[in-house]
Each structure stands twice: as C-alpha cells, then as structure tokens.
Structure 1
Amino acid sequence: MTTRARSVTVAMIATALGQLLGCAPGPTPVPTPTPAFASEAEAFAAAEEVYRAYNDALNEIDPSDPQTFEPLYVLASGELEAADRENFSVMHAEGHVIRGDARVVSFNGESSSPLFERVVAVVCLDVSAVQVTDAGGRSLVTPERPNVYALSVEFVAGDDRILTMDSSRRVGDDKCAG
C-alpha cells in the first residue's frame, strides 16, 4: 500500500471511529432535584394554608358520621393520619360528641429542609370553645386543658409536591404567650 493510500485509509478509519464514538450515548445526566417551593416564605405560606384547611375540616367533624372524617385524612399523612384514623374511630364507636370550633391564633414557620420538602411550624390554637362529651353527656375535657396551646407541626411534600401534615405535638405553651 502506498503512503497516500495508507493516509487515506487511516483518515477513513479515524472518521468512522469518530462517527461511531460520537453517536454513542454519553453518561446519563443525574437529575437535579426540584424544590417543592420557590422560597422558604412560599413553603411556610403553603403549610399555613394546609393547616388552616385541616383546622376547618376538624371543626366540621361529627363523630357520629365517619364521612366527615375524610376531608381531614386528605390533609394528613404519616403518624398524624394514623392517629386521626384511630382517634376518630374510637370517638365514633364510643358515641362522643364535639361542640364548638378551634381557632388558629397564630402560625409561625420555624424551619424547612433545603428543598422545602419538610416544613416545621408552631401553631397557637384556641380551643376554649371546644367541648367533647361522651355518649352520656359527661365532659371528656380535662379541667387542666389550657384555652390556647402551642403545637409543633411538621409538613411533608409528597411526590406530587403537595404538603400534608405529617406530625403534630404539643410544645411549650409559652410560645403562645403575648
């Protein structure tokens, strides 16, 4: 083979290899997680909206009618949903009656995860108008219950990026002072 023929052959092989390698798929890009919200303020606002809707649904609960529980379950997840299902099932079975409404006094965003898929807030809830009685009409509210108490509420974003309440626990009522 002449030098010119060899050069042409090498050039053709190089071109063919370049085309083959150029068409080979590169490494699959790793998707960058998308935040559930554009900012922490937006995440806190969404969490407050969920909490207020939850409180409204809670105020509509009629323990004698399990259908009234369903709107509450849509807004809850995890341990909170499990506790709600158990508690309202017991209230229904035992004939409890709820009268009066709870009122959100304040909602303060406390913290969030970097992608805002977890949000924690402190809620001050006025329960002074809420009475719970058993089937015989006897109050189930302890005399020590304060009129207003503080809850630490954790919200989580599901795959659909919608927040639900995942847990709620009582914290120092001094957070509601003032």
Structure 2
Amino acid sequence: MPVTPRPRTHSALALAAGLLALTACSGPDPAPPPSSAPPVFASEEEALTAVTETYQRFQQLSYQILAEGGADPERIRSLTSDEVAETEMDGYRRAADQGYVFTGAPTIQSTALDLWLPYPDPLQVVARAELCIDISNVQVVDGAGTSVVSTERQPQSLWSVDISYRENDQTLIVGAKEKVDDRCDD
C-alpha cells in the first residue's frame, strides 16, 4: 500500500503557534532607560587635571588644619571618604597632642594617571594615579621650637591615590591614599 506524505503545514503551524506563545509571554517592549548622567570625565586629559586639582585641594586643607594646630579637623570630610577622613583626623590629633607646629606646604611635582573611568565603578572610584609630592618646604617643630624633621627625610614622596565620585553632592574626593615610596622616580 502506497504511503502518501503528509503536508508539512501541520509542523509549520505548530512551530508558529509555539513562537507566538513565547512572544506573548514577554509582554510589551520595555520602556527606554532613563536618560543617564553625563560621564564624570570626557577624556584622559580631563581626568588627569581633575585628579591633580582634587588632591591639591585636599592637601591644602590638610596642611591648613595642621598649621592651625588641628582646629576643626572635621573640615577634611568635605574632600575625602570617611576612611581617609578618620585617618587624617587621627594624625591631626596626634600632631596636636605632641604640640607640633607645621609651616610650609607640600607641592605636587607630577601626576601619573594609572586608571580613569568615565563613570564610577562599584566603589565610586573614577581615577587612580601616582603623585610625586615635594615636602621640602614643610617644617615641623615641637613646642620648644626644635625641628622634629629627620635629617634623613627625602624631599619627595610617591603616593598612590584613588579619586572617588561622591554622588550625593556630585563632587570628586580623595577616596583612598597610600604612600608608595619615600622617593619619586624621575
């Protein structure tokens, strides 16, 4: 007995019905995402400038607090993460307890950008750099006016610094800092 092939329309209809069922479950097209904020940095050059300026503001305020004998140390919070602020305020307290007087100010000799991101990472970091800080103009004396600066002190030191984006006030802050070396490579 001859076998008559069945038309393939039943298979095609079953496949089409299955695909329609799948698309029906997906619902309407999602709404477009809300307009996103502009990037923190548009270029590497902009990031380098911002890192240098942010750290310079931090450094100026930090040394101002030290020069004022540690008065109103909470001011540093406006330019740092909570962790950096706590470390700095502890240093201000120790210097004040010792009766140290600071004169002069450090200067940034160079900034080498290691990383920059147009948008903050999950830890809010937007840039990481190594900064060469010249401390040769900084003098520290005790209550008797005697210098407590070691004669072995190097005139420069190298620091690794994370710059973070503080979303609530949309500012750049020093998120982390660590001394890398007592000298800068020239």
Give TM-score scaled by structure 1 length.
0.71
1:177 matched to 2:185? The reply is: yes
Q: 1:173 offset after TM fit, Å?
A: 5.1
Q: 1:29 offset after TM fit, Å?
A: 5.1
Match of 1:155 among 163, 166, 176: 163
Amino acid at match of 2:130: V
Identity rate, percent: 29
Q: Secondary structure at the match of 2:175?
A: strand
Task: Give the direction of change, closer, same or farther, for the CA distance of 1:143–1:73 in structure 2 (3 Å limit).
Answer: farther
Residues 36 and 161, structure 1, Cα contact 8 Å, conserved in 2: no
Match of 2:139 among 109, 131, 136: 131
Q: Secondary structure at the match of 2:137?
A: coil
Number of the residue aligned with 2:126: 118
Match of 2:58 among 54, 59, 63: 54
Match of 1:105 among 106, 109, 117: 109
CA RMSD of aligned residues (A): 2.7
Residues 107 and 124, structure 1, Cα contact 8 Å, conserved in 2: yes
Q: Secondary structure at the match of 2:114?
A: strand
Task: Give the direction of change, closer, same or farther, for the CA distance of 1:154–1:65 in structure 2 (3 Å limit).
Answer: closer
Distance in structure 1 (CA, Å) of the matches to 2:47 and 2:54: 11
Residues 56 and 108, structure 2, Cα contact 8 Å, conserved in 1: yes
Structure (1 or 2) with the greater helix fraction? 1
Amino acid at match of 2:179: R
Q: Secondary structure at the match of 1:66?
A: coil
Residues 120 and 154, structure 1, Cα contact 8 Å, conserved in 2: yes
Stretches of structure 1 that go unaligned for 5 or more consecutive residues are 1-23
